[in-house]
Amino acid sequence: MKTLRLALAAALTSCLALLPLAAAGPAAGAEGRAADGDRPLRRLAADDRLRIGTAVDTTALADDAAYRRLTGSEFSTVTAENVMKWEALEPRRGEYDYAAADRLTRYAERHGQKVRGHVLVWHSQLPSWLTTGDFDAQELRAILRRHITDTVRHFKGRIWQWDVVNEAFNEDGTLRDSIWLRKLGPGYIADAFRWARRADPHALLFYNDYNTEWTGPKSDAVLDLMSRLRAEGVPVDGVGFQGHLGIQYGLPTDMAANFARFEKLGLRTAVTEADVRMVLPADEAKLRTQAEGYRLLLDACLRTRHCLSFTVWGFTDRYSWVPDTFEGQGAANILDEDYRPKPAYRALQAALAGRARPAAAE
């Protein structure tokens, strides 16, 4: 009986997940209704063999039914916004807490979604036992190797793309001064990819960074690193462009050309954390510029044959990291705080509906 109930509940959840945006949120009233009713992003992108993703706030996923429904109906891949980071997974040395991350991967499986694993090696959101531990190089290397191996093994077969190394560069193209660079030297990057590959040979392994969407010293440096790693046989499969834009800086125009440089190296690409913030208050003109920012990011991906996924860093202004991180800024997402579609959401719909990629991505 219990199994039957569970099966019925699961069936109901997946039906609800297919409800169009207009019917999803309690606050999605007439003004928020999709003009043609039923065009969730994931469905529009399916013909392009492009996955549309979102970062997931797992607290909202548990507590907010509208958020939960939209996560399932609009997206075909998910990324944990925080629960796969080191401080969350290994809060005490050698003691792992995978519960929240496992709940998210189960949600994804029930909704036919692939999972981007985020993140194995980063300078931020590290547990304090690690940052204050004063380990020597040998011990720190063993700690890093173990964290990568344990984590990738735990999720083996359930992660589509791993962000293996995140944000290793400064704006000027030099390597960021982090605990990893300081103690292990630049070789930590290649090591991380090798350890990840060994732990799950089928996951696609990505380098991920921001302000690398356009050409410039930072993306030049990433390109150079990628080409060296490939030449040395280091198992790196792709590059993630985070896509955190701000309209006050002007919108980048050469993103497709930049993505093409990575494609030429034989790498997959992905937009991994798109959001387009603005100085508050929002107004119509700013929202239009924001829509153009999202459109340009998606367009760069659509023009790149092996751009596998386009992921937004949260989909609603209700839960966004932006106001907490960038003072005076916000309104960065594609739905407003009441889940009503903004011009940015319409722009993504239109861009996906308006074209089919000439050649399919694998």
Where in 119-178 is the site for ligand XIL (CB under 6 A)? 166
Which residue, among 269, 217, 263, has the nearest Cα to 243 in the 3D structure?
A: 269
For ligand XIL, the binding residues in 228-247 under the rule CB under 6 A are: 242
Helix (H, G, I), strand (E, B) or coil at 310: strand
Q: How many residues bind ligand XIL (CB under 6 A)?
A: 6
Nearest approach, Cβ of residue 359 and ligand XIL (Å): 30
| 211's tokens | 């302000």
Is 171 among the catalytic positions? Answer: no
CA dist 223 and 200 (Å) reads 25
Q: Where are any strands of DSSP class E within the chain?
A: 51-56, 77-80, 114-121, 161-166, 204-209, 238-241, 244-246, 268-279, 307-312, 329-330
Tokens (6 digits) for 281: 């208050």
Nearer to ligand XIL, 77 or 82 (CB): 82
Rule CB under 6 A: say whether 304 interacts with ligand XIL.
no
Active site residue 167: yes
Dihedral of alpha carbons 209, 332, 245, 279, sign: negative
List binders of ligand XIL among 34-93 (CB under 6 A): 81-82
CB 324 within 8 A of CB 65: no
> Given 74, 213, 263, 273, which residue is catalytic?
273
Binding residue (CB under 6 A) for ligand XIL from 160, 195, 294, 321: 321
Find where tokens 């793309």 sit: 161
Tokens of 9: 């509940």
| Least spacing, CB of residue 314 vs ligand XIL, in Å | 7
Set 81, 90, 167, 263: catalytic member: 167
Tell me the DSSP string of 208-261.
Answer: EESS-SSSSHHHHHHHHHHHHHHHTT----EEEE--EEEGGG---S-HHHHHHH
Catalytic positions, written as ranges = 167, 273
Binding residues (CB under 6 A) for ligand XIL: these are 81-82, 166, 242, 273, 321
